[in-house]
Structure 1
C-alpha cells in the first residue's frame, strides 16, 4: 500500500496540482490586496466611502455586511478574468495538432475474395434475369 501511495504522489498530475494550489493561494493574496488597496478606493470615490467592507445594512438586530460581499465579488471577477486571460494565452501558445487524414487501409485477402464472390454473384443474377426475360 505504501508503494502504491508513493507511485501516486510521484505522478506528475499530483505535483502539478500542488504547485497550482500554492500559486493560486499566493495569487489570491495579490488580488485581495489589489481589490482592498486600489479598486475599493476608486469605487469609494463614487460611493463616498473608501472602505467598502464598512458598508452595512441594519434591519432590526440583523447586520447585513454587503460591503464584504462586494469585496468578495470584485475579487472573484478579477481572479476569473485573469484565469480567462491565462487560459486564452496558453491555448494560443500550445500547438494545435492537425488531425491526420485516415489512410484507407489495404483490403485484406479475405475482403478481396469476398468482393470477387459478390461481383460474380451479381453477374450471375443479372445473366439469369436476362435469360428469363428472353
Structure 2
C-alpha cells in the first residue's frame, strides 16, 4: 500500500496540482490585497464613501448583514475580472513566444533540399 501511495504521489499530475494550488494561494493573496487595499477604496470614493460592509438591518434579534454579501459579490467580480485579464495577458505573451519559435525554425539543410529535389524529379517522371 505504501508503494502504491508513493507511485500516486510521485505521479506528475499530482505534483503539478500541488504546485498549482500553492501558486494559486499566493496569487489569491495578491489579488485580495489588490481588491481590498487599492480597488475598493477607489470604488468607495466613486460611490461617495459608501462602505458596503456596514449595510445591515435587524429583524427581532437577528442582524442581517446584506452589505457583507454585496461586498463579497463585488470582490468576486473584481477578482474574476483580474484573473481574466491576467490569463488574457499570459495567453498573449505565450502566443507571441510560439510565433517567434515558429519564425525561428531552422532552414532545411542542403541534404534535405537535395532530397526534396530528387523526390520532385521522381514524381515528375511518373
- Answer yes or no: same fold by TM over 0.5: yes
- The aligned residue for residue 84 of structure 1 is 84
Distance 1:29 1:90, change over 3 A: closer
- The aligned residue for residue 45 of structure 2 is 45
TM-score (norm 2): 0.58
Q: Distance in 1 between the 2:44 and 2:89 partners?
A: 33
Give structure 1 regions of 4+ aligned residues with deviation exceeding 6 angstroms: none
> What root-mean-square deviation, in Å, do the aligned CA atoms of Structure 1 and Structure 2 show?
2.6
Unaligned runs of 5+ in 1: 96-134
What is the Cα deviation at residue 73 of structure 1? Answer: 1.7
Q: SS of the residue aligned with 2:49?
A: coil
- The aligned residue for residue 57 of structure 1 is 57
TM-score (norm 1): 0.55
Q: Tell me the alpha carbon deviations over residues 34-90 of structure 1, each in whole angstroms, 9 at most, x when there is no partner.
A: 222222222222444354322223333322222222332223223322333344455
Distance 1:52 1:61, change over 3 A: same
- The aligned residue for residue 69 of structure 1 is 69
Q: Distance in 1 between the 2:42 and 2:64 partners?
A: 23
Q: Tell me the alpha carbon deviations over residues 96-129 of structure 1, each in whole angstroms, 9 at most, x when there is no partner.
A: xxxxxxxxxxxxxxxxxxxxxxxxxxxxxxxxxx
CA contact 2:31–2:82 (8 Å) conserved in 1:
no
Q: How does 1:1-134 map to 2 (within 5 A)?
A: 1-49=1-49, 51-89=51-89, 91=91, 93=94
Unaligned runs of 5+ in 2: 99-126
